[in-house]
Amino acid sequence: QHRSIVLVEQDPVVCEHFASLFPNLLVVRSDITDETIFEDERLTTYDLLISLTDNDELNIITASYAKRVGINYAIALIKNNNNYIRLARHLDIDSVISVSEATVDSLLKYMRGAHVSSVHSLFSGRFEIFEFVISSEMAVAGKKLKDINMRNKGIIAGITTSEGRNIIPSGAYRIEVGDTLLVCAGREELGFVQKIFA
């Protein structure tokens, strides 16, 4: 199915680059904040607008305005402030792309081999909480917590036992197959945590 795509960009170098890569792409060198561009380039006849600038506020405003002038579907990129995500969703914006959430998804895919079942990001991505499901082939299975050298690079903050009990463990707790460990660590300790729970 044929689709018409328009790129609106101020930077002439970026415009030239995309025009050379995609000959069928309509490249418009202009400022998206100039509302006349929607009429001049007939942008309101398009089904979808994706705002991908480095400015979160501009992306939200552009996507919201696009909906108001009749574009069916609008997406906004949020790069710097996750507090804007909820706001954007209240402004009739159909979808929000969060860089931090995308990073967490990438982390989760990267760490699948380490038996991680979930990753949660805190403090704008500086801190991660990993949930590891213990299997028989993992080196930590059968060990007491006090015998696992985390080198102050992370903490085991909680455990859901194989029987389904949630506990805050002591160092004497022995890790069993089927346990789920809640491990807290800084983003920079990803590699270390992966090795411990491989």
Mean residue pLDDT across the chain:
81
What is the reported pLDDT for 136? 92
What is the reported pLDDT for 186? 80
Residues whose CB falls within 8 Å of the CB of residue 18, separated by 6 or more in sequence, listed in order = 7, 9, 25, 27
Say yes or no to pLDDT of 60 above 80: yes
Domains of the chain from N-terminus onward: 6-98 (3.40.50.720), 111-196 (3.30.70.1450)
Residues whose CB falls within 8 Å of the CB of residue 15, separated by 6 or more in sequence, listed in order = 7, 9, 27, 29
Mean pLDDT of 114-118: 61
C-alpha 159/C-alpha 175 separation (Å) is: 9
Entry pTM: 0.49
